[in-house]
Amino acid sequence: MPTGAIPLPADDPELNALSLDELALRWADAAARTAISAEAMTGTDRKAQALGIPGEALMEHAGTAVAAAARALAVHNRREDRPVLILAGPGNNGGDGFVAARRLAGWGMTVIAVLVAADEKPGTHDAARNWKRLDGLPNITRVHAPVARDVVILGQGIERAGIVVDALLGTGVRGRLREPIRSAVELIHHAREAGIPVLAVDTPTAVDLTSGDPSDPVVRADLTVTFHRPKTGLRTKLGRALAGRILVAPIGVPPEADRG
Closest CA to 24 of 79, 75, 65, 78: 65
- Dist. CA 121–CA 48, nearest whole Å: 26
Per-residue pLDDT averaged across 44-58, rounded?
A: 95
The domains of the chain, with CATH numbers, are: 23-258 (3.40.50.10260)
For the cut 80, the answer to whether the pLDDT of residue 5 exceeds it is no
Give me the chain's average pLDDT, please: 94
pLDDT the model gives residue 6: 86
Quick check: 251 and 65 in contact, CB under 8 A?
Answer: yes
CB atoms inside a 10 Å sphere around CB 241: 13
How far apart are alpha carbons 90 and 121 in whole angstroms? 7
**Sign of the four-CA dihedral 131, 136, 140, 145:** positive
| Single-letter code of the amino acid located at 64 | T
Beta-sheet strands, E only, within the chain: 84-88, 111-116, 140-145, 163-167, 198-201, 223-227, 245-249
pLDDT surpasses 60 at 1: no
pLDDT surpasses 60 at 239: yes
Residue 157: what pLDDT?
A: 87
Entry pTM: 0.96
- Residue 173 is predicted with a pLDDT of 66
Count CA atoms closer than 13 A to 67's CA, side-chain side.
Answer: 32
R_g over Cα of the chain: 17
Residues contacting 2, CB < 8 A, separation 6+: none
pLDDT digits (tens, 9 = 90+) for 102-154: 999 999 999 999 999 999 999 999 999 999 999 999 999 999 999 999 999 99
The mean per-residue pLDDT over the stretch 22-43 comes to 96
In the chain, how long is the greatest CA-to-CA distance?
51
Which residues is 129 bridged to in the sheet? none
Q: How far apart are the first and last CA of the chain?
A: 32
DSSP type of residue 33: S
pLDDT-based confidence at residue 172 (cuts at 50, 70, 90): low
